[in-house]
């Protein structure tokens, strides 16, 4: 969890790579559905990119379908879900054992805005780049899939304000919700990707008994 641009996606990528728990990003699922023109994608299209939350019904339908896939059976890393209290309750109903750990990544607002304005994303596979710190190797071509690297429509100064407002109003209250449940870990996300990841890795290693790989410790 964390505000837009806090590094959720990059941390989920790292966890997937190191521990094998696939990254499940609801923003990514929504963008995919829109790109593929599926019925839910057509509904979501008019709601995406404005900085507001997409209807729970649409997000939950996409998430449910994704979590039913075989690769999620041993565990998964949610990125950008839940984003409001009713989604947190739905998650509990969907998978009562989870979440086992919640990471709240805190970053100063000034840093967030700077990061988002320099963020680039693959328009095909959603890989994350940064125009300053981590540009694609070949001019605006994704290193991973060869797709076009673009600036997301909502990575824009006006939409960022709305995304931050939505975050404070609807998502931030979940920190107290998960803190009460005892699964919350507070992470300082102001440093580099490595610095932010280090304490997350420590928690996961402790939980998984230092084992690596898909389904480790289960
Ligand atoms: P993200 O890729 O996480 O920055 O999400 C991009 C956009 O997708 C958000 O600004 C929302 O409009 C929508 N979105 C992503 N996840 C959710 C969610 N869990 N609930 C509602 N809308 C979401």
The tens digit of pLDDT for each residue in 191-206 reads: 999 999 999 999 999 9
C-alpha separations of 139 from 125, 143, 149, 156, 170 in Å: 17, 10, 8, 21, 37
What whole-number distance in Å separates Cα of residue 149 and Cα of residue 125?
A: 10
Question: Which of 9, 25, 27, 169 to mutate for ligand 1's pocket (most ligand atoms within 8 Å of CB)?
Answer: 27
Q: For the whole prediction, is pTM greater than 0.75?
A: yes
What whole-number distance in Å separates Cα of residue 12 and Cα of residue 24?
A: 8
Q: For 51-97, what is each residue's pLDDT tens digit?
A: 999 999 999 999 999 999 999 999 999 999 999 999 999 999 999 88
What whole-number distance in Å separates Cα of residue 59 and Cα of residue 143?
A: 28
From the CB of 166, is ligand 1 less than 6 Å away? no
The H or E element spanning position 77 is strand 77-79
User: Which residues, in sequence order, are bridge partners of residue 119?
Assistant: 130
Give the 3-state secondary structure of residue 164.
helix
Closest-CA residue, ligand 1 atom 11, reads 53
State residue 209's pLDDT score.
83
From the CB of 154, is ligand 1 less than 6 Å away? yes
């Amino acid at each position: 969890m964390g505000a837009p641009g806090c590094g959720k996606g990059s941390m989920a990528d790292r966890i997937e790579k190191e521990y094998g728990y696939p990254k499940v990003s609801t923003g990514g699922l929504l963008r995919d559905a829109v790109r593929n023109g599926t019925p839910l994608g057509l509904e979501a299209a008019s709601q995406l990119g404005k900085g507001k939350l997409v209807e729970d019904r649409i997000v939950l339908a996409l998430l449910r379908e994704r979590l039913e896939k075989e690769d999620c059976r041993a565990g998964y890393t949610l990125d950008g879900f839940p984003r409001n209290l009713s989604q947190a309750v739905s998650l509990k109903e969907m998978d009562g054992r989870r979440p086992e750990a919640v990471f709240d990544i805190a970053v100063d607002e000034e840093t967030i805005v700077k990061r988002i304005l320099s963020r680039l994303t693959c328009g095909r596979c959603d890989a994350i780049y940064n125009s300053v710190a981590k540009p694609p190797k070949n001019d605006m071509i994704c290193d991973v899939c060869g797709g076009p690297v673009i600036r997301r429509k909502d990575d824009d100064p006006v939409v960022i304000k709305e995304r931050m407002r939505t975050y404070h109003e609807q998502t931030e209250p979940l920190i107290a919700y998960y803190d009460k449940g005892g699964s919350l870990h507070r992470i300082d996300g102001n440093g580099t990707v490595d610095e932010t990841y280090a304490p997350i890795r420590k928690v996961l290693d402790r939980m998984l008994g230092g084992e690596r790989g898909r389904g480790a410790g289960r």
